[in-house]
Amino acid sequence: MPPAITPEVVGAYAQCPRKAYLLLFSPDKGELHEYVQILEQQRYENQEHYLDRLQQAHADVQPYSLENLRKGSEMLINARLQVDGFAAECGVLTRVEGKSTFGKYSYEPSIFVGTYSITKEQKLELSFVGHVLERLQHQQPMAGRILGMDGTSHPVKLENSAKDLLPLLEPLQKWITAPLPEPPPLVLNKHCPLCPFRRLCHAQAEQEDNLSLLDGLKVARKWRCPPCKPHHTWLFRPQMPARACRSSSV
């Protein structure tokens, strides 16, 4: 059975295709950086506290299941969405008006984060959750929400998210359907210090004397020659003395 494409894999591909490849196919999932572990713990606590308050404030808050999805519950919590080789977790699904495969209603996603400010990576995660939800309910969610550590609900439009998401999904889908997908080349970048595979990749880079070990340089530009220019642009042209310039202009 091929591995599922998850928000973590999609976010990894946006930063480093090799990281996404290792998450999908490597038996060794690496070691989470301590900072990443702290953010994940804060995300979990943020979600738990919010859902506790939500269940006290609203009557129709149900745990996620296909049965409750078909019933049209007002809010579904702790959703695990799986369809067509995609998998995503979603803290809250909120019912909105609009037709879907379930009836005259559809759902919009809300995710939780362990930070106060919202990053483009978190917006990408929400876009992916919305994409999986769209495949499940056959209706694209127009918007979603990201709930920060301070309780602020950040609305995010999803109607045009496909243009950024699909270029990431297409190569991932090719990988999971290929018999023996080739791993991407090793290129160290600015995201490596927080990557779970940082030690593995760095050791391999040193072993093969990888060019990306050169700090601050982009591999694609290291050995690129400057564009050729016409010969006459390189000729030395002596500057005229100031007096000669004045006399020639009279």
Map out the domains of the chain as residue ranges: 32-165, 192-219
Separation of alpha carbons 40 and 47, rounded Å: 11
pTM for this entry: 0.83
In the numeric block, the tokens 């990894």 are attached to: 12
On whether the CB atoms of residues 133 and 109 are closer than 8 A, the answer is yes
In the numeric block, the tokens 């808050």 are attached to: 61
Separation of alpha carbons 53 and 92, rounded Å: 13
Q: What is the mean pLDDT of the chain?
A: 88
> Checking DSSP bridges between strand 103-112 and strand 86-100, what pairing results, if any?
antiparallel
> Checking DSSP bridges between strand 86-100 and strand 153-157, what pairing results, if any?
unpaired
User: Using N-to-C axis directions, what is the helix angle for 162-177 and 120-137, rounded to 10°?
Assistant: 70
Tokens describing residue 28: 């060794």
Q: Please provide the size of the chain in residues.
A: 250
Query: What pLDDT score does 213 carry?
Result: 87
| Residue 35 pLDDT level (bands cut at 50, 70, 90) | very high
Written as one letter, the residue type at 139 is: Q
Instruction: Give the range among 68-72, 186-190, 210-214 with minimum mean pLDDT.
Output: 210-214
Give the mean pLDDT of 45-50.
97
Q: Is 220's pLDDT higher than 60?
A: no
Query: What pLDDT score does 219 carry?
Result: 40
- Round to the nearest angstrom and report the end-to-end CA distance of the chain: 85
On whether the CB atoms of residues 169 and 10 are closer than 8 A, the answer is yes
